[in-house]
A and B are shown apart, each in its own frame.
Chain A
């Protein structure tokens, strides 16, 4: 992967802010919901993000608006959490350590996508955001790295670990309901 200095030299056609809002709003809202785990807080967070983004728009170069806006959203969220400093967060210790029993093979039986997405909410934030942004929202790993302010290698390791934690959660959620011997 090229470093940013090379990656962003191509002149970018800067879209209208209104068009970016139209396209990115669902992504921002889902991301805010994953961060806050609460509908009204998510809406408030996205509202503030749009306001901050609108103010900063004249100085933004127009490249990768999705990761740029997610970065604003996340920074705002971190600022609020620092002020409140009382939000219970899912700790890694609270999540089942991935065991090797059954591995991915234990899952499926026609996984319902919503179950997978719901299971995401039980992961610690760092892993939840890496998996949600890459695997649900379809951002590239470099875009996620930009949005979260971490190196791409960190995104890779959080992604792989997050998927394994997700698998463990799905095994716990679906394992009991799964018919024995139903593995294809």
Chain B
């Protein structure tokens, strides 16, 4: 079954495959089927494109840790442990 409208949830049997297609873990026939279905089903097509946008936004929005904290951690007591090994 596929939907002509774009509002509403994706087809329930497709949701896992759409998640996998969106984040790049989908492979082979499952990926082909997900993309093929999404191209014809309005809801699944919109779901896939929105999920991809959201994942892309998350990957690009990694907050940079505070520089002072990084410097303190790089000079932390783990260095003593490594020196003791040598």
- Residues of chain A at the chain B interface (Cβ within 8 Å): 17-18, 21-22, 25-26, 29-30, 33, 39, 43, 46-47, 50-51, 53-55, 57-58, 100, 102-105, 107-108, 111-114, 116-117, 120, 131, 134-138, 140-141, 156, 159-160, 163, 166-167, 170, 183
Contacts and interface: CB of A to CB of B under 8 A. Distances in A.
B70 A116 contact: no
Contacts of B29: none
Contacts of A136: 58-59, 61-62
Given A51-B76, A117-B58, A117-B61, A39 B53 contact: no
B45 to A, nearest CB: 11
Nearest to A49: B78
Contacts of A103: 7-10, 43, 47
B57 A116 contact: yes
Interface in B65-86: 65-66, 69-70, 72-74, 76-79, 81-82, 85
Contacts of B10: 103
Contact of A104 (B50, B64, B85): B50
A25 B74 contact: yes
20 contacts: A25-B73, A50-B73, A103-B9, A104-B46, A104-B47, A104-B51, A105-B6, A111-B57, A113-B57, A114-B61, A116-B57, A116-B58, A117-B63, A131-B58, A134-B23, A135-B23, A135-B59, A136-B61, A156-B16, A183-B6
Nearest to A136: B58
B85 A58 contact: yes
B26 to A, nearest CB: 12
B73 A102 contact: no
Contacts of B50: 104-105, 107-108
Contacts of A30: 62-63, 65
What are the 10 tightest A-B residue pairs by CB atom distance, in nearest-first order? A113-B61, A104-B50, A50-B78, A113-B57, A54-B78, A54-B81, A29-B65, A100-B9, A51-B78, A117-B61
A21 B76 CA distance: 11
A102 B7 contact: yes
B20 to A, nearest CB: 9
Nearest to A98: B9
Nearest to B85: A58
